[in-house]
Amino acid sequence: MLLASPLYLQQKKLRWIIFVTLYLLVDLYAYQGFKTLSRHPLMPWLFFGLSFFVLGLFVVQITLLSEQRNTSPGQLYVFGVFLAFFVPKLIVFGILFIEDIVRLPWGAWRHWFGTGAAAEGFLPSRRRFVSALALGLAALPFGALLYGMIRGKYQYQVLKYQLTFADLPEAFDGYTITQISDLHCGSFDNQEKVAYGINLIQEQKSDLILFTGDLVNNKADELDQWQDLFSQLKAPDGVFSVLGNHDYGDYVPWPDQQTKEANLDNLKLRQKQMGWRLLLNENAVITKGNDKIHLIGVENWGAGGFKKSGDLDLAAQGLAQKDFKILMSHDPSHWEQQVKDHDQNFHLTLSGHTHGMQFGVEIPGWFKWSPVKYRYPYWAGIYKNENRFINVNRGFGFIGYPGRVGIKPEVTVIQLKKSQNIG
């Protein structure tokens, strides 16, 4: 493994200094809220003891991740616990900081023009109501993040869509596709729940199953415990897959390039062993009688700093503009930047990648929101550009935060329909 440069080490040290400084600032504000409501002598010991214990676990986890080539469920839980404690404190910090914006000029006014400031000090005392409000609001994400880790991450939902195309070949009218995405097998920790999810996929009895990338977090051997389970996925027209950004092993250190490449080769082999056909910038044909549709799979192509191994023109080589085409591309930014306005007519694109950030608010048929929408305009569900569609699957698994809050893991079922010309 190559040694890090002195500049990189300096930047890493600076980032840690900034992070710890901000953490301490947030802690001090959060403590003020607790202290306003309770002045028990054990309060500072309990508060700061727990806070630094969680911080210590987080630092150890980050250190281990920088040295290992794998991510264990236990390490993800450490990160989840850190979020469950830190995010609520950010809310307390925000509310009490706003209170201080009011307290400071009010204290200055009383000091210079008032008569009662001397007894209370320059700053007026914090209001118990404000602290109680801050802590009450902070309890909501604390409970939600814990619930998301305990229950939310395996609450699979089946979302069904019917998409209509004027040029769909007649024999494929009513054809069904089940899409799954972003398994991240290295994060799973419950065999029974994952098996339930696989049974749910099989219960859809679709003609075709498509997997749109991120089979693992980093290493092919994350599949050891799960390969037999996912080998159970079967469909009349087969199971096809593409690679996602995590499948290349780019986010962990390797002893050398050969080891990294061997890991990717192993991952490709395992998909073949599971009975999946991995499409690497290539296409396949699905035939029914004299009609056919074309399935296209590209390697990962993502905007920003993500890997751009996908070659759309190579993958669609040999296909005519009039052919009915379904594209599998892991990152929806590919659709946004290259696919939706491409000279070729890619009728339907299937993507994943965003996970819906595993956090958000959804009211089916009415409202959906997640912070990830500010990074990805196409982040969950069906979108249309003229006569071209994309579905962005919210993901079957999870990574980073080992849970889901408001954004459930997803199995998508899409039925293709041929529009009927009337008149």
**Residue 168, C-beta contacts closer than 8 angstroms, at least 6 positions apart:** 293, 324, 347, 416, 417, 418, 419
Element containing residue 163 per DSSP (H, E): strand 157-165
Other beta carbons within 10 Å of 138: 21
Rounded Cα distance between 347 and 222, Å, is 34
Amino acid residing at 101: I
pLDDT in tens, the chain (423 residues): 334 445 555 776 788 888 888 999 999 989 988 888 888 888 888 899 999 999 888 888 777 665 555 667 888 898 999 999 999 999 999 999 998 888 877 777 766 766 554 445 556 667 888 889 999 999 999 999 999 999 999 999 999 999 999 999 999 999 999 999 999 999 999 999 999 999 999 999 999 999 999 999 999 999 999 999 999 999 999 999 999 999 999 998 899 999 999 999 999 999 999 999 999 999 999 999 999 999 999 999 999 889 999 999 999 999 999 999 999 999 999 999 999 999 999 999 999 999 999 999 998 888 999 999 999 999 999 999 999 999 999 999 999 999 999 999 999 999 999 997 644
Rounded Cα distance between 47 and 236, Å, is 58
Q: 242 with 330: CB under 8 angstroms? A: yes
- Provide the residue ranges of all domains of the chain, joining segments of one domain with +: 6-150, 155-418
**Residue 98, C-beta contacts closer than 8 angstroms, at least 6 positions apart:** none
Q: 27 with 48: CB under 8 angstroms? A: yes
Token pair listed for 15: 């980032």
Question: Rounded to whole angstroms, what are the CA distances from 132 to 35, 40, 126, 171, 407?
Answer: 11, 16, 11, 64, 29
Q: Looking at domain 155-418, what is its CATH homologous superfamily?
A: Metallo-dependent phosphatases (3.60.21.10)
Question: Rounded to whole angstroms, what are the CA distances from 404 to 59, 111, 408?
Answer: 23, 49, 6
Q: Which residues of 347-368 are buried (b: 16+ CB within 10 A; e: fewer)?
A: bbbbbbbbbbbbbbebeeeeeb
Token pair listed for 80: 């989840």
Whether this model's pTM surpasses 0.75: yes
